[in-house]
Amino acid sequence: MSVNYDLLPDHCREGMRLWIEHGISPGDFLLAVLRNDFCEAIVRADSINEHHLRAYAQFLHYEAPPDCWGSEQKVIAWKERWGRK
């Protein structure tokens, strides 16, 4: 799987990579983004991420596997796919 993480802010690339490639849960902000809960993501965003929400949406749409994001159920299933709780 070839994913271009360059669309994301530097400090969140590794968290997203670990999620996509290993099913390791990222922090609360990225989990909200992955659940497609952008209201929660805005509340949890730091001063950098609050300006990059469009980039996250583009990243998920164009780069991320569709099974790893989009709803709470998809996030849970992705985690379970990797044997994580």
Residue 41 lies inside a defined structural domain of this protein: yes
Number of domains, the chain: 1
Please tell me the predicted confidence (pLDDT) of residue 18. 97
Angstrom distances, CA of residue 28 to CA of 2, 37, 44, 62: 25, 11, 7, 22
Residue 1 lies inside a defined structural domain of this protein: no
Residue 50 lies inside a defined structural domain of this protein: yes
Chain centroid to CA 4: how far? 13
Global pTM reads: 0.94
Please tell me the predicted confidence (pLDDT) of residue 85. 72
Phi, psi of 78 (to 5 degrees): -65, -45
Collapse the DSSP code of 9 into the 3-class scheme (helix H, G, I; strand E, B; otherwise coil) and give the result: coil
Taking only the tens of pLDDT, the chain with its 85 residues reads 799 999 999 999 999 999 999 999 999 999 999 999 999 999 999 999 999 999 999 999 999 999 999 999 999 999 999 987 7
Residue range(s) defining the domain that contains residue 38: 8-81
Distance CA 5, CA 63 (A): 8
Residue 71 lies inside a defined structural domain of this protein: yes
Residue 3 lies inside a defined structural domain of this protein: no
